[in-house]
Every structure is written in C-alpha cells, then in structure tokens.
Amino acid sequence: MPVWIAATLFAAFMQNLRFLLQRHLKVTRLSTGGATWARFAFAVPFVAVVVGAYGLSTGQSLPRPEGLYWAYAASGAMAQMLATACVVALFARRNFYVGIILKKSEVILTALIGFVLLGEGVSAPVIAAIAVGFAGVLVLSDPPQDSGLPWTKRVFNAASGYGLASGVLFGVSAVCYRGATLALEDGDVPMRAGMALLTATIIQTLTLGTWLAVRERGEIWRVIACWRISALTGLTSMLGSLGWFIAFALQTAAYVKALGQIELLFTFFFSAFWLREQTSRSEIIGIALIIFSLALILWSSL
C-alpha cells in the first residue's frame, strides 16, 4: 500500500475522533471559538515534541523556510482555522454525522483550487469519483425533517452554508499545506510535514488566542479548565494533522481529500452506535454513493 494512502486513512480516523471530542466541548461547555482553539493550543506541545524527537533520532535539523513557504503556511493556517470554526458551528444545527457530511464539499473544491494554485490536475477516474462523492454529499445535506419545503430551501439552508464555507476553506488549506511542504528544500517527507504542521499550529494558536482574549473574555480559562478533553483533542488533532501533512507531501491534495471521504464511514459508525443518532433513508443512499466513490479512488490509485 502506498504511504500516502496509509497516512490518509490514519488521518481520517484520527480527525473523526477529534471532531467527536470538539463536539463534546462545544455542546457542553465552550463556545465555537473556544472549542476550535482547544484543538490548536493543546496540539502545539505534542507537535513540538514529535518533530524534535524525530529530528534527534534521524540527525536532521529543522528545514530552512523561505518566503513562499511562509505565504503558503500562513494562508493554510488561517483557512483551516476558519474552516474548523464553521464545522464546530455546524454541530448546533444538525446531528454530528450530517455536520461532518456537509463539510465534504471540500473534495471537489480542493481539486479546483489545486489546479488554480499549483497547476495540479487529476485523472478521469478520480474526477468521476469526486463527482459521485459530491452527489452523495448533496443527498446527505437534504434535511429529512424539512421534506415538505421546496428543494432549494431543503438543500440551500444555513447548515449547508456552513458546510460549503468549511469546504472552500478546507480546500484552500489543503492546497496551501501541500504548497508549503513542497516549498521546503531540506529534510525528508516526515520532517517537512512536521515543520509545516508546527508552523501552522503556532500561527493558529496565537491568532485565535488573541481573538478570544479580546472578544470572549474568560473563554481561554474555560478551555484550560476542560484540560482533560482539550488535551485529548490536541493529541488527536496532532496525529490526524501529521497524517494529512505527510499525505499532502506525497500526493496531490485532490487525491488525498477524495480518499479522505472514508472519514464518513467512521463518522457513520460513531453516530449510529456511540451517539445513537438516527439516520434517514437519504443518508443511507448518500453513504452508498460515498462508498462507490472510495472504490473508484482506490482502483485508480493501486
């Protein structure tokens, strides 16, 4: 199995755990900003330790970043931070499972953004897989409880708006992170991925932390008070993000995000068997389309 596929599968699973923990923080104690900041702030020490230990064990020093690297890393960090906030905000509008589904518009958007920013195209089977997956997202985003409303209002609603916004922003962050890893000339793939992740996480922690200190007084202390769940959130965030960064360093962002839709299967099981949230017929149809799109991705990649 190619390394980028293994890294993507691992990242998708860990990301699902992280969103589950953030959902708990959001619905129990913290604001959207607080639940988002917990992910970044508590990930920084984990990332620093991992990157430092890997450098010492392999005899590598941190890569020397240049101007283009900083542009990609900062843009990706800001886009990911805003995208995460959109996903956390989704939890207040739909159940956990559908909230994650709505953000999956990022797959088709990542392909478009990657072509515009990096000039990276995708093969015909992958285009077909992305199209099938996007059809599944549309089916899954149709709220069953609003079935009496016109189709436009059922699909284009506030929750869909958050999902589309997160999709665009996650697409931008994925492509920018790949650009950042490619802009580093020193170090092997794990070191370049770790360097980019550490840079982005520090930027996100400082930026959002400043916002919370000014606009949501006391929220930082509430995050710290939830340190047990926040620390787990940071750990799963670090593990998942490291997997994504390694995959981005090895493969086009569109391929990585398309395969990353397997997260939906993980989310489905968490939603159905752990959170015991009910699923509708349209959600079952949508997940079937997602499974078919994943099969196309694997067939074209192996």
Report which DSSP code applies to 62. P
Looking at residue 226, its amino acid is C
Query: Domain residue spans in the chain?
Result: 3-301
Secondary structure percentages of the chain, helix, strand, coil, to 5: 85, 0, 15
Predicted confidence (pLDDT) per residue in 121-163, tens digit: 777 777 888 778 777 766 765 555 555 555 555 555 566 677 7
Residues of the chain with pLDDT under 70: 91-105, 137-138, 140-160, 270-272, 274-279, 301-302
| Residue 41, pLDDT score | 92
What does the alpha-carbon distance between residue 165 and residue 175 come to, in Å, rounded to a whole number?
16
| Residue 155, pLDDT score | 53
Predicted confidence (pLDDT) per residue in 219-258, tens digit: 999 999 988 899 999 999 899 999 999 998 898 888 888 8
| Residue 152, pLDDT score | 53
What does the alpha-carbon distance between residue 235 and residue 241 come to, in Å, rounded to a whole number?
10
187: helix, strand or coil: coil
pTM: 0.80
